[in-house]
Homo-oligomer: A and B are copies of this chain.
């Protein structure tokens, strides 16, 4: 297929016909290919995606508090979720990369595909406004089941951290309350999480000791797995 027919097919899959085709082309352009690359569109698309998913969750999960909505959103918009959606749209065939990236497997790299998808969402936003971009995000996530149970899965950073360390034959993390701030009825617990073998010690805060531990475990996981951080 020619590039033009590939772009036409992509627009059919997106269910959006671009008025400004240059935006779609830029969204598909990696920085290794041209100075007119997709990173600024990705910045915009990331914000569109966050709002569109926030609104979906606000509607679908009326009973859940803000913290649960945040955690579920982080799960939905993380790189591996976006990578799967990008594969579904067959972006690999359309992404424009420099020669070096092309040879080293760039068209299949999850970060490159996820970023291009965010850039496409940003391009639709600029091309036709928020409602069109919002509708695209809802179509993309149509197949993804959204349930309050995701919160429980997303919530337990302590378990995830423990499993990550055990999988690498490392010792369990240590938690320690560093300080308790605020008056009796609204205390904040500051908890340190230490992973001895990595020489890392980070802090987390929460309204209970347990919430502080979860926050510290989340921060530690972000340190240990920077690529999957939201």
Q: Say whether, besides A131-B130, A223-B203, A40 and B55 are in contact (CB < 8 Å).
A: no
Nearest B residue to A65 via CB reads B39
Task: Specify which chain B residues have a CB less than 8 angstroms from the CB of A223 in the assembled complex.
Answer: 202-203, 219
Would you give the shortest CB distance from A195 to chain B, in whole angstroms? 10
Q: Chain A binding site: helix, strand, loop or mixed by DSSP?
A: helix
Nearest B residue to A195 via CB reads B201
Q: Is the CB of B44 within 8 A of A55?
A: yes
* Chain A 182-224 interface mask (CB, 8 Å, partner B; 1/0): 0101100010100000011111010000000000000100010
Would you give the shortest CB distance from A44 to chain B, in whole angstroms? 5
Residue positions of A touching B, CB distance < 8 A: 32, 39-40, 42-44, 47-48, 50-51, 54-55, 58, 65-66, 69-70, 100-101, 104, 125, 129-131, 134, 183, 185-186, 190, 192, 199-203, 205, 219, 223, 226
Listed A/B pairs (22) with beta-carbon separation below 8 Å = A32-B186, A39-B65, A39-B66, A40-B58, A40-B69, A43-B54, A44-B54, A44-B55, A47-B51, A47-B54, A47-B55, A50-B50, A55-B125, A100-B183, A101-B186, A130-B131, A192-B199, A200-B201, A201-B201, A203-B226, A205-B226, A219-B223
